[in-house]
Amino acid sequence: MSRRGEEPAKGGSGSAKTKDGPTVNRDRRLIYIPIIHTAADMGSLGASIRGKKLSTLGRQGLARQAALVDTMWEKIESVAAGLPLDQGTVRVYQDGLPVCGHERKIVAELAGAGNRNHRLLVELEARGATLMGTESPELLVEEYQLATAAFASGAKLKHDGRRQELRNSLLEKRDRFIARRINATLGAGESGILFLGMLHEAAVYLDSGIDVVYPLGLPGMRQGMAI
């Protein structure tokens, strides 16, 4: 796996052994776009998240953060609009979208509800990209249950060592699943677009033959804005 911060370009040719053994093509590329989750993305937990942020940041602080998030999404939309999409050769992978057979319905419903991220997915699909289920449904359920338990107990995650440990372990499992999904479905000569929250590190588990491009910079550069 190579890492670049410039505009997307075709990877090299040839093949190589991955750390797990199989031979992979080197003409696959992945455009990695770190995203910021908003309270609206969190479903029934959204109100609780917004309430906690309001009590921590105050109204002015919350408004400033909302403005930063809006600016970031404008940049994401601008990058996505400029991506060349050859029909049938571009796959879109999305944080939180389960492999379930109902991916298009889920995305359409969330886009219809005004979700900015999923509206962008609909636009990319309309331009010829293929929408891909990306995450394990079981792990997403675990994530939701952990978050729900944290808010129900009123515990602050950063001060709850056990819960933080569980969250980190679960995040790694999700990253490994996401990477396996991309490794298995991104074919020779194809490009992928990955929209993934800033706390994730799925790229480290990708096949070495996948050329990874970061048009908005590495995820860690913007983690201070992550929700």
pTM for the full predicted model: 0.80
- Residues across the chain: 227
Closest to 43 (Cα-Cα) out of 133, 100, 137, 109: 109
Over residues 117-129, the pLDDT tens digits come to 999 999 999 999 9
Over residues 48-107, the pLDDT tens digits come to 555 555 456 567 766 787 788 889 999 999 999 999 998 889 999 999 999 999 999 999
Residue 14 above 70 pLDDT? no
Beta-sheet pairing, 90-94 with 191-197: parallel
3-state secondary structure 10-67: CCCCCEEECCCCCEEECCEEEEEEEECCCHHHHHHHHHHHHHHHHHHHHHHHHHHHHH
Domain boundaries, the chain: 2-225
Distances (CA, A) of 43 to 40, 47, 80, 110: 6, 8, 25, 10
Integer Cα distance of 194 and 221 in angstroms? 17
Tell me the angle at which helices 46-81 and 137-153 cross, rounded to the nearest 10 degrees: 140
Over residues 170-193, the pLDDT tens digits come to 999 999 999 999 999 999 999 999
Structure token pair of residue 161: 């060592």
